[in-house]
Structure 1
Amino acid sequence: MFVRDVFKALVRRWYLVPLVLAMTAGGVAAALSQVGPTYRSTASVVLVPPETTLGVTGNPYLFLGGLEQSVDVLSRTLSSQEVRAQVRDAAGTDRDYEVVGDVATSAPIVLATAEGGSAAEADRLLDAVLDAVPEVLAKLQDDLGVKPGAQIDTQVIARTDEPEVVQKTRLRLAVLAAGAGGVLGLLVVLALDGVLLRRRLRRDTRRPSSASPEPVAVALPGPRKS
């Protein structure tokens, strides 16, 4: 019943629908103008075992097993509030970044993701994160008394050439603005329709009915003659 009433109200006030649509579109455009796109840069860093474990081959990629725990410790340390503040200060931004272990592979690889309001800001933040990775890892090992020759090292194996443009936040904002504008416009149309219907009802009740009978003159018969 409610849906049918809403449809009838929209049909009666059809001239307001284009106005509501135009105002909603304007609200969406205004919301999008306040929030720009986000740029995202990513890089992959592999943990390399120390020279003392390489054996006669000298190939570090043959000894990557057993470094998964180091990946977890490193990623958690880089995600701490203290290190995060230092990385942001070095990059000169308050944007956020993420450092996690690559679950798509069994190799000890760390994925670093940095976001910014511009491509330059995203790259600058990622540079600061990549600079912090070996420093944090070395400090963790220094605190445990690990000698430099026996410490795990890092190597960047992949990085995005150009930051990726991410529109997710803007699209979500556009959907919210469109939904809010549409609901608000519908409520205004329904309220105005109700007011206009009540006014018409009052006018109809005050207007005299054309079907009311007119007074009819009745001729009375005169006295009879004898």
Structure 2
Amino acid sequence: MEEGSWAMFLHNLGWGLLRRWYFVLVGILITAAGGLFVWTAVPPSYQATSTAVLLPPSSLVGEKGNPYLFMGGLDQVVSVLTVRLRSAEVAEPLIQGRGDLSYLVEKDPASPGPIMLITATGNSEASAMELLGEVVRVIPANLTVMQDQLRIPTFSRVEVMTIVQDHTAVLLIKDQLRVLLAAVAGGLAVTVLVTALLDRVMISRRKRRDERRNQSSNQIPTLLQEPEAPHLEVQSSAGRRAAGPSKGNVGSAIARDQEFDIPTATSNP
């Protein structure tokens, strides 16, 4: 579509919305009611986070060594541990049958080193905090299981330590906002389309009604015109005499001649 066509389309659409402003108002009210319903129907979510770090084994650090100086190479352990914590074997006992709960364990992208970020999400602050605590508690147990499977000796085992853990959950409204914006955008789009369609239908009906009215007004004078009366030619008596008697009036003419042409008797001297 060319630029001029788009401009004309938008111009006609704008005038149509102005002409049918009452339809637009009804659509806005319905959209607002739908947005309010969606906002109340979609429950808010709460989120709590915690961070944990993996510590190198004592055999590497030594009795008086600093474990933070020997964290190289533990990123691989973090990757394997996060995969295990996200598996169904670990996740199902934590969230199964507990409503809309979820958690995520991943390597913290904002922190260098073997640091894990644990995020728990629930439909209430209490449920989110409870789930976060349970996930934090199962991390050392699963790390132990992984090392038991490889029969790693105690002095060579990696340990985990919690760095920071939230004490309150944060209210998240992004899901509500996303659904609300989608509902409002859809409602306004439907309002514009329906209003434009109704405007075209009403204009088309008015044009047809005007055409029928014009046709009716053009036909009424013809129907009301009086029929022409038969033409009667009136002739004067002189004209009739000049033209002569007609066939049907011969007797009348003879009678008139006899009536007016009376012979006069004259006496002989």
TM-score of the superposed pair, with normalisation by structure 1? 0.87
Alignment equivalent of 1:75, drawn from 79, 82, 85 = 82
Selected match of 1:25 from 32, 35, 38 = 32
The one-letter code sitting in structure 2 at the alignment partner of 1:160 is D
Q: Give the aligned partner of residue 152 of structure 1.
A: 158
Q: Distance in 2 between matches of 1:35 and 1:118?
A: 13
Shift of 1:106: 2.5
What SS is found at the alignment partner of 1:158? strand
Aligned positions of 1:170-181 closer than 5 A: 170-181=176-187
> Is 1:118 matched with 2:124?
yes
Say if 2:139 is the partner of 1:133: yes
Counterpart for residue 67 of structure 2: 60
The TM-score with structure 2 as length reference comes to 0.74
Equivalent pairs: percent with the same residue? Answer: 36
Give 1:121 deviation, angstroms.
1.0
Change (3 A) 1:17 1:37: same
For residue 12 of structure 1, what is the aligned residue in structure 2? 19
1:109 Cα deviation from its structure 2 partner: 0.7
Q: Which has the larger radius of gyration?
A: 2
Specify the alignment match of 1:219 in structure 2: none
TM-fit CA distance, 1:58: 4.2
- State the AA in 2 paired with 1:106: P
For residue 3 of structure 1, the aligned residue among 4, 10, 16 is 10
Instruction: Please give the secondary structure, in 2, of the residue aligned with 1:208.
Output: helix
List per-residue Cα deviations over 1:85-105 (Å, max 9, x = no partner).
12224x944522111112323
The Cα shift of 1:204 comes to 0.5
1:54-83 deviation line (CA, Å, top 9, x unaligned): 214143223222211111111111112222
| Deviation string, structure 1 residues 31-56 (Cα, Å, up to 9, x no partner) | 11111211111000011122222214
Q: In the alignment, does 2:195 pair up with 1:189? A: yes
Secondary structure of 1:100 counterpart: strand
8 A contact 1:39–1:165 mirrored in 2: yes
Flag structure 1 segments of 5+ consecutive residues without an equivalent.
Answer: 217-221
Deviation (angstroms), 1:166: 1.3
Q: How many residues are paired up?
A: 222
Larger mean Cα displacement after TM superposition, 145-154 or 113-122: 145-154
Q: CA deviation at 1:193?
A: 1.4
The one-letter code of the counterpart of 2:131 is: L
Kindly state the Cα deviation for residue 180 of structure 1 after the two structures are TM-superposed: 1.0
The 8 Å contact of residues 112 and 126 in structure 1, kept in 2 or not, is answered as yes
Work out the CA distance in 2 between the residues paired with 1:183 and 1:63: 59
Equivalent position of 1:44 in the other structure: 51
Structure 1 residue 153 displacement after superposition? 1.1
Cα distance in 2 for residues equivalent to 1:22 and 1:121: 36
Q: Is there any run of 5+ residues in structure 2 with no aligned partner, and where?
A: 1-7, 226-233, 236-269
Report the 3-state secondary structure (helix = DSSP H, G, I; strand = E; otherwise coil) of the residue aligned with 2:28: helix
Backbone CA RMSD of aligned residues: 2.7
CA offset at residue 11 of structure 1? Answer: 1.4
Deviation above 3 Å: which 4+ runs of structure 1?
91-94, 208-212
SS in 2 for 1:113: strand
Higher RCO, Cα 8 Å, sep 6+: 1
